[in-house]
Amino acid sequence: MRLLSLDRRIIYILVLLAVGVPLLFRVPLPVKVGVETRKVHSAIDNIPHGSYVMLSFDIEASSLPEVKPLAEATVRHCFQRDLRIIGLALFSEGAAIGYNLLVQVADEMGKVYGSDYIYLGFRPQYVSAILGMGESIEDVFPLDYLNNDWREYPGYASLGNYDDVALVISIADGSLPTYWVEYAGSRYNQKIAACLTAAMTTSYYPYTVSGQLVGMVSGLKGAAEYETMLGYSGGGHRGMLSQSSGHALIILLVIVANVAELRKRK
Amino acid sequence: MMTTRKISFVICFAAGIFGLVQYFSPHPAISSVYRSLLDWVQIIFAFALLVGALSVLRMHAGKVMKRDRHWVYSAVAVASLIAMTAAGFAGGADRGSLFAWLFDNVQVPMQSTVFALLAFFVASAAYRGFRMRNLEAGILLVTALLIMLARIPIGELATDWLPRSADWVLNVPSMSAKRALLIGIGLGSVTTALRVILGIERSAIGG
């Protein structure tokens, strides 16, 4: 059977076409908003204006194309609600990514560094950093990412520890939300939400059902759902056609391979 | 005379027991020591990062000096490490700095490219490996196809049944397996922590 020994280069070309070509077209696909995305949206919606929200960029550069639309939508929502963002990173690569993203969205929305958002940068050893911020954020981050004393900024002088933070959102491509739940959630009763790569989604269902995570937004699909709720079309929507055709191709390949296998057995 | 290993054990035991006790005590003195310990952990880890970076530098520099096989890759690694460090110290990491430019235009595209290659390998591996050879493989295959289809807009639009079935798979069988794993991992972690604190498990301190 020729089909069973299909040259892998043909599969590679098919994947390239299925994922790449749809990116050239802007075909808006209708997106149904899932329960988990709604939970995160309403958690942010219910926070009073002016409250502190902590965004932790627990990501590496490799997952940026998938995570960026998610993070962008979340940041936009926080700024729309006039929440004061505290940005930080518990992975070194997340430091520059988070800062760029925050500044980019803040500039678009006319938000000011120091009164609407600050960026604390990276701290190594995430367990002690998470626990330490429960005692005092200043102890863990005496200076911000730009080496300034963030306590001097007018919007952040009263920030002490998790007691002052309404919600922590871990934007992650790995297991960091687990540590946020185990250390900030269990010990300090901190509310936590997660924005995750699609591959991590199944790992966090137990935490959302138990209420340890208030909700999660996952993958490009989650980003598209969040964008739908905010009423704009961004990177999530742009990627939906590409992701749909990519999934469809894999499904088709698996079916073809199994049909070929069955025919061979007969 | 106490050996280094004994000293390490005593420190490990004291820190472990303190970690347990402080969780249950709101006393200010304990809280103060706890905060100092958290600072120490961060300082020690920062030094560990430095040692790690120096170790990488030494290993690759050695390969370059000896002209080992693939020494060119080591030269690139050493040059990149030095360039990023120098750029960070010289101009900071703010937008518009050389460090930010290198990060945005070199590191991010390179890492994203390597990660994106997974899509090609996954498709090829799915074609070759995802075969319905027995009942278990059949269940795995059907479930995977169901989840893939339900997680794209086309699947959701086709029928309500697809996303509901996918949610059931994720919320019932998948979650029960995941919870069992989490509980197992939790119990394992407690056991290992106790073994380390009580000195039964000494590999971490060179036992």
Chain A contact present for B117, CB below 8 A: no
Q: Which two tokens mark B3?
A: 């050996």
- Output the CA–CA distances (angstroms, integers) from residue B157 to A29, A33, B151, B163, in the order listed: 10, 12, 11, 9
Residue B85, pLDDT score? 92
Query: Which candidate from A62, A124, A201 shows the least CB-CB separation from B45?
Result: A124
Out of A124, A248, A253, name the one closest to residue B46 (CB). Answer: A124
Supply the mean pLDDT for chain B: 89
pLDDT at B25: 85
Nearest to A37 by CA among A242, A247, A220, A266: A220
Q: Residue A263: left if φ>0, alpha if ψ -120 to 50, beta else—which one?
A: alpha
Contact status of B152 with chain A (Cβ, < 8 Å): yes
According to DSSP, the residues that pair with A167 across neighbouring strands are A53
**pLDDT at residue A112 in the model:** 95
Cα-Cα end-to-end distance for chain B: 18
pLDDT at position A151, please?
A: 94
Q: What is the pLDDT of residue A2?
A: 73
Question: What CATH homologous superfamily does A32-231 map to?
Answer: HUPs (3.40.50.620)
A chain contacts of residue B34, beta-carbon cutoff 8 Å: 135
Q: Does B179 touch chain A (CB under 8 A)?
A: yes
Q: Across the beta sheet with A216-218, what order do the strands follow?
A: A117-122, A84-89, A52-58, A165-172, A192-196, A216-218
One-letter amino acid for residue A244 of the chain = S
Residues of A in contact with B179 (CB under 8 A): 206
> Which chain B residue is nearest to residue A121, measuring alpha carbons?
B93
* pLDDT over threshold 80, residue B110: yes
* Contact check, Cβ <8 Å, B103/A96: yes
Where do runs of H (alpha helix) occur along A51-168?
64-80, 92-109, 126-135, 137-140
Return the number of other C-beta atoms located less than 10 Å from residue B88's C-beta.
17
Mean pLDDT for B37-49 is: 89
A62–B152 CB contact, under 8 Å = no
What angle (nearest 5°) sits at the alpha carbon of residue A192, between those of residues A190 and A194? 165
* B159 three-class SS: coil
Instruction: Give the pLDDT confidence score for residue A125 in this predicted structure.
Output: 87
> Does the distance separating the beta carbons of B178 and A254 come in below 8 Å?
no
Among chain B residues, CA nearest to A4: B128
Question: Which of A60, A221, A253 is facing B126, going by the closest CB pair?
Answer: A253
The pLDDT assigned to B24 comes to 87
pLDDT (tens digit, 0 to 9) for every residue of chain A, 266 residues total?
Answer: 577 778 889 999 999 999 999 988 888 888 889 899 999 999 999 999 999 999 999 999 999 989 999 999 999 999 999 999 999 999 988 999 999 999 999 999 999 999 999 999 999 889 999 999 999 999 999 999 988 999 999 889 999 999 999 999 999 998 999 999 999 999 999 999 999 999 898 889 889 989 999 999 999 999 999 999 999 999 999 889 899 999 999 999 999 999 988 888 87
> H-helix or E-strand containing A255?
helix A235-265
CA B140 to CA B129: how far, in whole Å? 12
Nearest CA in chain B to A247: B148
Is residue B204's pLDDT more than 80?
A: no
- pLDDT at res. B92: 83
- A171, A258, A262, B142 from A266: Cα distances, Å: 50, 13, 6, 22
Q: Which residues of A touch B122 (CB under 8 A)?
A: 250
Which tens digits make up the pLDDT trace of A202-240? 889 889 989 999 999 999 999 999 999 999 999 999 889
B 61-90: CB under 8 A from A: none
**Most B CBs within 10 Å: which of A122, A250, A256, as the mutation test of the B interface?**
A250
Q: How do residues B78-91 score in pLDDT, each as one tens digit?
A: 999 999 999 999 98
Residues of B in contact with A127 (CB under 8 A): 41
The alpha-carbon gap from A168 to the nearest alpha carbon of chain B, in Å, equals: 20
Q: H or E element: which one contains B158?
A: helix B153-158
Cβ neighbour number for residue B28 with a 10 Å cutoff: 8
ipTM: 0.83
Q: Is A157 helix (H, G, I), strand (E, B) or coil?
A: coil
- B1 has pLDDT over 60: no
d(CA B169, CA B191): 32
Residues from chain A that touch B35, judged by Cβ atoms under 8 A, are: 132, 135-136, 139
- DSSP E strand boundaries for chain A: 52-58, 84-89, 117-122, 165-172, 192-196, 216-218
User: Domains of chain A: which residue ranges?
Assistant: 1-28+233-266, 32-231
- B interface mutation test: which of A8, A93, A209 has the most B CBs within 10 A? A8
What band does B19 get if pLDDT is binned at 50, 70 and 90? confident
Contact partners, residue A247, CB within 8 Å, separation at least 6: B148, B149, B151, B152
Query: In terms of Cα–Cα distance, which of A121, A125, A117 is closest to A57?
Result: A121
CB proximity list for B70: less than 8 A, separation 6 or greater: B63
Rounded-to-integer distance, Cα B83 and Cα B101, Å: 12
CA distance A23 to A27: 9
